[in-house]
Structure 1
């Protein structure tokens, strides 16, 4: 830092294993940084892309404000209602062109529940989207059935033991019926 402005960073591993005489010779001017108004999602993306474990937080005119680590971001995200409140989690898969957050929320709300959180990811090489849905209820059986009626593939459920037990009971009943 010079005059309160950050000009580079040094990694601890480099200091420990370096044969250089001064830390100044180890300064990397291409450091990873975010503006202090950057959203957590963007900061996490920037840190991930840089493969660094931390990121410098800068204010106006590159004034150093602090540092943020991956751990600090995860802790901040964990304070979200999506994480804090109990409820079932459904993992739903669909074609990319079929994805509609408003339709998914409408289906869930039509069953008397609320969508607390939605996390999207791409399914590699298939052109499909996987959505993790956090609900405000543990009993998700009616919601699962409704999503399936609208051609959403429910590929996993978490926290809804009643649904799993009902499926197992129905399967056992079907097997007994087939044996007759």
Structure 2
């Protein structure tokens, strides 16, 4: 998924003659902490200005052109979603300007829009189940995981990995297209995978858990 597929062009830009007051008003209107700055006579990208930077000035009637732009992060139209996510997160940006090969401003990717795109990218809203496995990094094999899932007539919709800081294990988050993942979970456990969490709409694992909870509550009430 590339920037050109989810670029936003509705966000206003600033030019050198705009004042700090005007910039803060726009930020408030659009619920942003940053705005792009372009040249007066064209849309040549110059950088971004932040709310924090503007609020450091005692006189907000100052023109943007008189403020040194410390940041000028940007991406191209062909940049992948994951690179955009890394830049916005690393620089704590509310938006990231998109520019052409000639450094002409094309639009932005906002943090809000990025959340929607990432949800779509991860198939978060697709019907199915979510399973989290814990494995040793040396035992991690996408091929084995896919084989177990597909042997139960299910398929991987998305897969993300995250190393645990505490024990060095690898957490694998799987979204699969089976709404009842009980057979997949049993298969993972049979092959000695640790299933640390799962969510599914309905299924035998949930039903058994609910039955045991009911039995426990009944026992406690005797």
Quote the Cα distance in structure 2 between the aligned partners of 1:83 and 1:134: 8
Deviation at 1:22, TM superposition (A): 2.4
Q: 1:84 to 1:171 in 2, by over 3 A?
A: closer
1:14 matched to 2:53: yes
Q: Could you say which residue in structure 2 is the equivalent of 1:176? A: none
Question: 207, 210, 216: which is aligned to 1:165?
Answer: 207
Aligned length: 175
Question: 104, 108, 130: which is aligned to 1:89?
Answer: 130
- Greater displacement, 79-88 / 154-163: 79-88
Question: 186, 190, 197: which is aligned to 1:156?
Answer: 197
Q: Could you say which residue in structure 2 is the equivalent of 1:71? A: 112
- Greater displacement, 146-155 / 162-171: 162-171
Deviation at 1:62, TM superposition (A): 1.6
Give the structure-1-normalised TM-score: 0.85
Quote the Cα distance in structure 2 between the aligned partners of 1:170 and 1:12: 54
Deviation at 1:12, TM superposition (A): 3.1
Deviation at 1:78, TM superposition (A): 2.6
Quote the Cα distance in structure 1 between the aligned partners of 2:55 and 2:95: 18
Give per-residue Cα distances to partners, 1:112-168, cap 9 Å, x unaligned.
111111121111132211111111112111111111122211000112542122245
Q: Could you say which residue in structure 2 is the equivalent of 1:104? A: 145
Deviation at 1:32, TM superposition (A): 1.8
For structure 2, the residue ranges without an aligned partner over 5 or more in a row are: 1-37, 216-222
Q: Which has the higher helix share?
A: 1
For structure 1, the residue ranges without an aligned partner over 5 or more in a row are: 174-180
User: What secondary structure does 1:142 align onto?
Assistant: helix
1:123 matched to 2:164: yes
